[in-house]
Amino acid sequence: MGLKVLTQMQVTLLLLIAFTRIGTAADDQALPGCPNKCGNVSIPYPFGVGVSDVTGKNCFLEKNLELSCNDSILYAGNVEVKNITLGGQMEMNFFVSSVCKINISNGQKESNTPTLQTASFTISSTGNKFVSIGCDTYGYLNSYVDQAKYSTGCLTRCDKNEANVENMQRDYGKCSGIGCCQVDIPPGMKNISIQASTFDDFDSFSSPNSCSVSFVVKNGGYSFNMDHLKHIPFDKALMVVDWTVGDGACNVSKHTRNACTSDHSVCEDPPYANRSGYQCKCKPGFEGNPYLPNGCTDFSECKTGKHNCARAEYCHDIPGSFVCSCPDGLIGNATNEGGGCQPKHSADAFTKIVIGSGVGLIALFVGVSWLYLMLQKRRLLKLKEKFFQQNGGIILRQKLSAREETSQSATIFSVEELRKATNNFDESLIIGRGGFGTVFKGVLSNKKVVAIKKSKIVDSSQVEQFVNEVIILSQINHRHVVKLFGCCLETEVPLLVYEFVENGTLFDYLHKQSQVPNVSWKTRLRIATEAAGALSYLHSAASIPIIHRDVKTANILLDETNTAKVSDFGASRLVPLDQTEIATIVQGTFGYLDPEYMQSGQLTEKSDVYSFGVVLVELLTGKEPFSFSKTEDKRSLTLHFLSSLEEDYLIDVLQNDILDEENKQEIMEVAILAARCLKLRGEERPTMKEVTMELEGIRHMDKHHWINTSQNFEESQYLLSEAQSTREHGDSSGQQNTGFDSLRELQLIDFGNGR
């Protein structure tokens, strides 16, 4: 905040504000109802002991920061805590590792290896030394990070003559390497163990109880003494550890629960890369506990001398900063740079000052108001720009600019326009929820009804998927593909604006019979044909071939006339014109995934054909693709369908009430087509263009000729031979015994008899 010269009235008001702030500042560093101290050691939150007497909740932020207080001694686990600072450090009395010679004659030793196992505590590399003491001693400080072991340490050996050792040890009190060695500790060591060891030389000293020891000690916390070669008078040493909260850096924690809850706190990452978690700090001008709500409070720049006023009495604290003003009887600029305050010379001067002050006050008010509005506007613009970049706006803008010459171009909507369209995203306008996010119904200013998709918060790995969906949909213009009108990137989560398709999904239409009547076969066949036409367009008629990768009934929408529209292109991929397959991470919906794609990771157009085959089976049977509630042989709809088709039990899997004398041949043709789409080898499946042509032909076939053409008979023979080959040689995908042995008789099945 800039420094200002104020009138006496302003000074009085500011003093009242500052005194009120100081009077209400909280001294407690713990949560309400939680102990502030154990003995003489303060316990600041996020550390804590037990549960709150007020709220009944934990006094600590996370399990690793839970402490205990026994007999006025504070413990972290079984280690005594001596001091905790909100700067991210803790002092504790940690155990000394020792190996003692209890019987020289037979070489018996007694040793211990203390450990400190917690990801929240890291041994301070700047505040400690690792020390080993003895004349035949070597010690290790081991650290375990991401299941890998790292070690540092030192060794010291001496002459067995004690006088010679004392002769060599000239710097008394210092650990110089003779009888005592010390090393710096590398950064990032956590989950530590200390291990003191001795060489097999038992003649260094005659004392049977001499020990070799190793320990971590705070800088300046240990002075070497020759007597320590025979016996060290302590079993614990003061050690400094760095602590953090959470299990990720600031850019990760902001998407989850962040511990920096104070209005004036900020998140800071640790100073080195291999340290997990983060810390909270109060902003400049504030002090206190940044982990507590309202824990960061304003401190007095005037009392601490952190100001540039000409004299201390000219300084007045305000929240987060200070101002310099002249007292009564003096005028001028109260800062060092302004020359300080001067006495008044005359009444005329006073009048001029009053007038000038009044004018200045008005100007100041106008200026401050203008500045506030400009700062708010600038802040909002910066926030919008931040979100724009975060949501892939730069990538999207570059890709759309390359297509400006085409007629297909997505509109970039402002967030204000979409808020108005959805009544500020009123929950009553929600028309869909799912793993992708939430969909709202909205009405634009031109009265056009749209569907606005509000995605969940995305990280950098999801930005490309979002941009992908925009690019793909912006170049598609097909009556059976949901139209993308545009997008908005000015919010924390990206927004997509689609045409509104009001009758829901084909999945709901088929499986929620309580909401809709049973769907007729003619309607099912028409919807299948329309969806197949859309996928055929994507595969072969679009400027760049597109593989949908998530074909399912939940992604086929129905409008007011139950016309099909394929939607949700978040997982889709563009296929370069010189390629027929793409290597990708397997993605899709269980029950619809192509087994060949799952095994190879090679995505082709035939993967969509397989998924569409499952959709055809769903339309024939009215059943969901997979159900854990059914018996094992019926859990997978495709396996059950193909098995029934093979064994002449097709009627058992058809949905009730769709079969009649007029549509027998159509249903058989669609069943055979579905079986072809579900072939294990993609190269043996038809293309979506062929599927579309066959469905069109089925819709217009002569209803009075039940006996099939020779082409159908040949197809049945082909399927039969493949099924027999499958049973003879096995199936790598696990789908055995799903051939169609009896398809040659399928043409003559009397559906009216039930089998």
Contact 36/43 with Cβ under 8 angstroms?
yes
pLDDT of residue 660: 84
The one-character DSSP state at 111 is E
Residue 168's pLDDT band, with cuts at 50, 70 and 90, is low
Tell me which residue of 555, 533, 430 sits closest to 480, measured CA to CA: 533
pLDDT of residue 608: 93
Tell me which residue of 347, 475, 477, 299 sits closest to 400, measured CA to CA: 475
pLDDT of residue 736: 32
pLDDT at residue 167 is higher than 50: yes
Kindly state the average pLDDT of the residues 285-307: 86
pLDDT of residue 345: 63
Handedness of CA 240, 245, 248, 254 (dihedral sign): negative
For 607-658, the pLDDT digits (tens) are: 999 999 999 999 999 899 988 777 777 888 899 999 888 888 888 888 888 8
Q: Pairing between strand 48-49 and 66-70?
A: parallel
Contact 556/569 with Cβ under 8 angstroms?
no
Asked whether residue 454 is marked as a ligand-binding residue, the answer is yes
Residues 6+ apart with CB under 8 A from 296: 262, 263, 264, 265, 282, 283, 286, 287, 288, 289, 290
Amino acid symbol at 317 = D
Residue 732's pLDDT band, with cuts at 50, 70 and 90, is very low
Tell me which residue of 632, 671, 617 sits closest to 648, measured CA to CA: 671
Average pLDDT of the chain is 78
Kindly state the average pLDDT of the residues 731-752: 34
pLDDT at residue 300 is higher than 60: yes
pLDDT at residue 142 is higher than 90: yes
Q: Which residue has the higher pLDDT, 164 or 292?
A: 292
Residue 172's pLDDT band, with cuts at 50, 70 and 90, is low
Contact 609/685 with Cβ under 8 angstroms?
yes
Domains and CATH numbers, the chain: 8-23+302-363 (no CATH), 27-85 (no CATH), 93-243 (no CATH), 245-294 (no CATH), 393-499 (3.30.200.20), 506-753 (1.10.510.10)
Residues 6+ apart with CB under 8 A from 667: 521, 620, 654, 658, 659
For 385-442, the pLDDT digits (tens) are: 777 777 777 777 776 666 554 555 677 788 889 999 999 999 999 887 765 678 899 9
Element (H, E) at 217: strand 211-218
pLDDT of residue 141: 95
Contact 616/673 with Cβ under 8 angstroms?
yes
pLDDT at residue 704 is higher than 80: no
SS3 content of the chain, % helix, strand, coil (to 5): 30, 25, 45
Question: Can you read off the two tokens belonging to residue 603?
Answer: 């995505």
pLDDT at residue 262 is higher than 50: yes
3-class secondary structure per residue, 541-569: HCCCCEECCCCCHHHEEECCCCCEEECCC
The CA distance from 123 to 145, in Å, is 13
The one-character DSSP state at 428 is G
The CA distance from 256 to 277, in Å, is 13
For tokens 């590399």, name the residue.
125
pLDDT of residue 31: 93
The CA distance from 568 to 481, in Å, is 10
pLDDT at residue 15 is higher than 60: no
Taking phi over 0 as left and psi of -120 to 50 as alpha, with beta for the rest, 657 belongs to left
For 439-486, the pLDDT digits (tens) are: 899 999 899 999 998 876 665 666 766 676 677 777 788 899 988 888
Residue 743's pLDDT band, with cuts at 50, 70 and 90, is very low
Listed ranges 59-63, 332-336, 545-549; the one with the highest mean pLDDT = 59-63
Kindly state the average pLDDT of the residues 542-547: 77
Residue 502's pLDDT band, with cuts at 50, 70 and 90, is confident
pLDDT of residue 58: 95
**Cβ neighbour number for residue 244 with a 10 Å cutoff:** 24
Question: Concatenated DSSP letters for 465-534?
Answer: HHHHHHHHHHT---TTBPPEEEEE-SSSS-EEEEE--TT-BHHHHHH-TTTSPPPPHHHHHHHHHHHHHH
Contact 188/122 with Cβ under 8 angstroms?
yes
